Amino acid sequence: MTAAAIAQPADPRLAADARELHRELSELLRVVQFRDRDRICCYDVSVSQCYALEAVLARGPLTLNELAAHLYLDKSTASRVVKALAEKGYVERRPHPGDGRAVQLVATEAGRRLHTVIERDLLSQVEGLVADFDPEVRRALASLLARLGRAAVAAAQETCACRTG
């Protein structure tokens, strides 16, 4: 088998489809990131702080290392994000029950309330964006994006393993 035959993708449209998806996804992410900066910062937190608060709420108590890994941040950056959230009263550090050297990050009641308000604001915007889609299309879109997200997480973890391994 020649090198040219090996290099040919099984699906000749794959490269074109990937390019189109990349272009459209990049545009969507750019607009969403702008929206996040514009909307979330109105609530006394940065986008990174909001993502960290959301992670602590969704995943339960987290160590700093767990949070940093989840957010794809280095530990020092995650530490600064957590420090700001703690100073604002949105998270607190508690002793880790299984490791005396570690702490767990837990959302405070103020953090829960703040997250609820931000989430309500962002979800109302998303509802407006998808209101004209048929319910089946909305569900399929959510399912497709979830599948794409899981694939992206797996690829990111594989890339991180290659860099560290």
Looking at the fold, whether 110 and 81 belong to one and the same domain comes out as: yes
- For residue 79 the two structure tokens come to 């530490």
The answer to which of 1-15, 21-35, 120-134 has the lowest mean pLDDT is 1-15
Residue 52 lies in a domain: yes
Looking at the fold, whether 114 and 34 belong to one and the same domain comes out as: yes
Looking at the fold, whether 124 and 153 belong to one and the same domain comes out as: no
Read off the CATH number of the domain in which 42 is found: 1.10.10.10
Residue 117 lies in a domain: yes
Give percent of the chain with pLDDT exceeding 90.
Answer: 64
Residue 9 lies in a domain: no
Closest CA to 29 of 154, 152, 159, 135: 152
Please state the domain count of the chain: 2
Looking at the fold, whether 100 and 58 belong to one and the same domain comes out as: yes
Residue 15 lies in a domain: no
Residue 101 lies in a domain: yes
The domain containing residue 145 runs over which residues?
134-165
pLDDT at 40 over 70: yes
**pTM of the predicted structure, to 2 decimals:** 0.80
pLDDT at 3 over 60: no
Looking at the fold, whether 31 and 104 belong to one and the same domain comes out as: yes
Instruction: List all residues 6 or more positions away from 52 whose beta carbon is below 8 Å from its beta carbon.
Output: 67, 71, 78, 81, 82, 85, 91
Looking at the fold, whether 59 and 85 belong to one and the same domain comes out as: yes
Looking at the fold, whether 46 and 120 belong to one and the same domain comes out as: yes
Looking at the fold, whether 33 and 99 belong to one and the same domain comes out as: yes
